[in-house]
Structure 1
Amino acid sequence: MTRINVMQPWMGQEEIAALAAVVESGWVAQGARVAEFETAFAAMQGAEHAVATSSCTTALHLALLVAGVGDGDDVVVPSFSFIATANAPTYVGARPVFADVDPTTGNLTAATLEVALTPATRAVVLVDQGGVPADLESVRALCDPRGIVVIEDAACAAGSTYRGSPVGAGADIAAWSFHPRKILTTGEGGMVTTADAAWATRARRLREHAMSASASARHANVLAPPEEYAEVGFNFRMTDLQAAVGLVQLARLPEVVERRRSLAAGYQKAIAEIDGLRAVTDPSWGTCNYQSFWVEVEEASPFDREELMVRLAEAEVSARRGIMAAHRQPAYRTGDHGAASLRATERLTDNTLILPLFHQMSDSEQTRVIDVLRSAAAKA
């Protein structure tokens, strides 16, 4: 029986040709392809400015820095997220403060945020978990009057929409991921998008050691201009090799999202008929790209999450436990990270799993997954 993976990138001859063209150009580091990818991504996401980076983690790092977050500040983040969401504030000397999430969407809300705010809160990292768009407007209505910057962690959300626009279009600043688990991949890579020109300019400088003249600009001149380093920067650059792949992937995005939403609808229809399971769905304010299709095993279920994962594995179906709770990890288990109740976070972490969903998934493969869910529910 052929194994069904949780996710696999959709790549082909177009990406190979794009890589070959960059190699033949003689310039493979950050250069013209990166700039082209930034422009194309900003246009697709409705952003004023885009700054390519080496990962979403480095994009979050830069977003916090340009927003002025630093030593002594608190940054409210969901515990229900990949560990990088909590790590980024730590990198800039701030304290990550954990807030709970909505038990239906898995996202922060204005209500869960409000109880976690402190007098030192300088920023909030709002995650579109698994591609489910968070309700940005209600969160900004809470944070903007308090002078709290809302940084959207849109790592999973390329292709999702919020109130009729691309996710991230209404954010002051957002961070994106192009890891292979995402539906738009460059192998590794990330992006900062922002409406603030000054923030974008500083992010561009900081990602390249804070040098006054970029490496590609110096290479373009026979007599390279001298460079200066006005502050301590980083090596957070994307390469032209990655950007070339990203441009091909970006063109594929609408088709990928359409196929993923079709597969998600198939899962949702089947799971609605299985007692004890609840599938992730679109919120009322937007549409999801279903980067991760997660299911909650409810109390009424005749099986628990671990038993279901075993049944899937026996059928050569690879599932994954749901999103981690960062506050349970050794790195954040001790220390002061706020006192907000994290009941919904713990419930979701303990009882959710991610089912296979990828562009190339066949209808017969999805049927095989659904058959396992049905047989488990029937204790067959």
Structure 2
Amino acid sequence: MSRINVMKPWLGEEEVLALTEVIESGWVAQGPRVARFEREFAASMQANHAVATSNCTTALHLALIVAGVQAGDEVIVPSFSFVATANAPTYVGARPVFIDVDPDTGCVTADGIAAALTDRTRAVIVVDQGGVPVDLDPIRDLCDPLGIVVIEDAACGAGSTYKGRPVGAGAALAAWSFHPRKLLTTGEGGMLTTSNSDWAERARRLREHAMSVSASDRQASILAPAEEYLEIGYNYRMTDMQAAVGIVQLGRLPEIVRRRREIAERYTAALSGIVGLRPVGDPEWGTSNYQSYWVEVGPDYPFDRETLLVRLAEAGVSARRGIMSAHLQPAYEGSPSYRGPLPVSERLTGNTLILPLYHQLEDAEQTTVIDALLSPLTVAAHG
């Protein structure tokens, strides 16, 4: 039986040619193509500055550092997110404080953040979960007057929109992922975007061991200038090989989003009328890129989530369990980060699944997925 994967990156001959050019140039580490990718990504996302990194987690780490978050501070985060969102504050010695999410979007809200604020809150990390844009303006209206930095974890967000603009365009800091599960991929890789030139300059130094002279400037000089290491830095660099792929991928983004939304519309049309299944959709303030098409399995559906996953697997469909709740992971068990019940996060983690959705998904393959979701209804109807 052929397998229908939950995700496949869209890579082609253009990426092969771009990589070949980099290899033939002899400059494969961070260099001119990284700089070009940064410029083009910033323009595409309507950001003032972009700093390429080794992955989204390192971008989040740098965002917290340049924002001034320190040991002993508190950073409000959704539990309903990949664990990296909570891990990044711990890297700077801060405490992630878990809050619940909106049941429809899976994103945090201003009300949820307000309830968790203390005099030690220094930053908030909001997430465009599965590509669904977070409602950022009310959150900034709450946090900005208090001097609390809002960092947008836009790992899943490239191609999503918020009030007619790319997600992240209004954020003081935003972190992006180019993991193969995302719409744009460089294998691994990330990006930090910001409106603050000082933050961007410092992040560029920090990703390169905090050297006073960049590696590309040193490489361009016959007699390399002496460098200083201005503070403790990191090796969070992206390579020109990755950036070359990223440049091609960025050019594909409009078509990727168009196709993903087309597939999502077909899923929604087929599943919206099924009692017990609730598919994710666009919020009123923006549009999703459908990085993940997730469905909540309710008590009125004939099977629970785990049984449904088994039935999908038997049909050759590789669906996935929904997004984790970080506060339930052993790494955070008993942590002071968890201050109270998070019923929505726990319900969504326990009852959602992610369906196959990728650019190359064929209609016949999507029909197989839909039929597997409809077949339990036939079983139930006939006892």
Query: Hey, what does 1:229 align to over in structure 2?
Result: 229
Cα displacement string for residues 304-363 of structure 1 (whole angstroms, at most 9, x for unaligned residues): 000110110000100000000100101101220142431100000000000000000001
Asked if 1 retains the 8 angstrom alpha-carbon contact of 2:132 and 2:283, the reply is yes
Amino acid at match of 1:378: T
Query: Hey, what does 1:87 align to over in structure 2?
Result: 87
Q: Residues 177-192 of structure 1 correspond to what in structure 2 (within 5 A)?
A: 177-192=177-192
Percent identity (aligned): 69
Cα displacement string for residues 268-293 of structure 1 (whole angstroms, at most 9, x for unaligned residues): 01111211100000000000000000
Cα displacement string for residues 162-218 of structure 1 (whole angstroms, at most 9, x for unaligned residues): 000000000011000000000100000000000000000000000000000111110
Amino acid at match of 1:128: D
Residue 339 of structure 1 aligns to a residue whose secondary structure is coil
CA distance in 1, matches of 2:376, 2:241: 45
| TM-score when normalising by structure 1 | 0.99
Asked if 2 retains the 8 angstrom alpha-carbon contact of 1:175 and 1:193, the reply is yes
Residue 217 of structure 1 aligns to a residue whose secondary structure is helix
Q: Residues 233-312 of structure 1 correspond to what in structure 2 (within 5 A)?
A: 233-312=233-312
Q: Residues 16-95 of structure 1 correspond to what in structure 2 (within 5 A)?
A: 16-95=16-95
CA distance in 2, matches of 1:221, 1:253: 36
Query: Hey, what does 2:331 align to over in structure 1?
Result: 331
Structure 1: any 5+ residue segments left out of the alignment? none
Amino acid at match of 1:249: Q
Aligned length: 380
Query: Hey, what does 1:149 align to over in structure 2?
Result: 149
CA distance in 1, matches of 2:378, 2:310: 15
With 368-377 and 34-43 compared, the bigger mean Cα shift is at 368-377
CA distance in 2, matches of 1:123, 1:340: 20
CA distance in 1, matches of 2:147, 2:126: 16
Amino acid at match of 1:82: F
Residue 336 of structure 1 aligns to a residue whose secondary structure is coil
Residue 152 of structure 1 aligns to a residue whose secondary structure is strand
Asked if 1 retains the 8 angstrom alpha-carbon contact of 2:75 and 2:125, the reply is yes
Query: Hey, what does 2:371 align to over in structure 1?
Result: 371
Asked if 1 retains the 8 angstrom alpha-carbon contact of 2:327 and 2:338, the reply is no
CA distance in 1, matches of 2:273, 2:109: 29
Q: Residues 171-210 of structure 1 correspond to what in structure 2 (within 5 A)?
A: 171-210=171-210
CA distance in 2, matches of 1:26, 1:353: 44
Q: Which runs of 4+ in 1 moved over 4 A?
A: none
Query: Hey, what does 1:358 align to over in structure 2?
Result: 358
CA distance in 2, matches of 1:12, 1:114: 46
Amino acid at match of 2:269: K
Asked if 2 retains the 8 angstrom alpha-carbon contact of 1:270 and 1:370, the reply is yes
Amino acid at match of 1:74: E
CA distance in 1, matches of 2:287, 2:326: 26
Amino acid at match of 1:306: E
CA distance in 1, matches of 2:340, 2:190: 30
Tell me by how many angstroms 1:298 deviates. Answer: 1.1
Asked if 2 retains the 8 angstrom alpha-carbon contact of 1:130 and 1:157, the reply is yes
CA distance in 1, matches of 2:114, 2:352: 26
Asked if 2 retains the 8 angstrom alpha-carbon contact of 1:53 and 1:192, the reply is yes
CA distance in 2, matches of 1:112, 1:26: 51
Residue 115 of structure 1 aligns to a residue whose secondary structure is helix
CA distance in 1, matches of 2:190, 2:16: 20
Query: Hey, what does 2:316 align to over in structure 1?
Result: 316
CA distance in 2, matches of 1:214, 1:177: 23
CA distance in 1, matches of 2:300, 2:145: 43
Amino acid at match of 2:124: V
| TM-score when normalising by structure 2 | 0.98
Structure 2: any 5+ residue segments left out of the alignment? none
CA distance in 2, matches of 1:142, 1:298: 34
Tell me by how many angstroms 1:119 deviates. Answer: 1.5
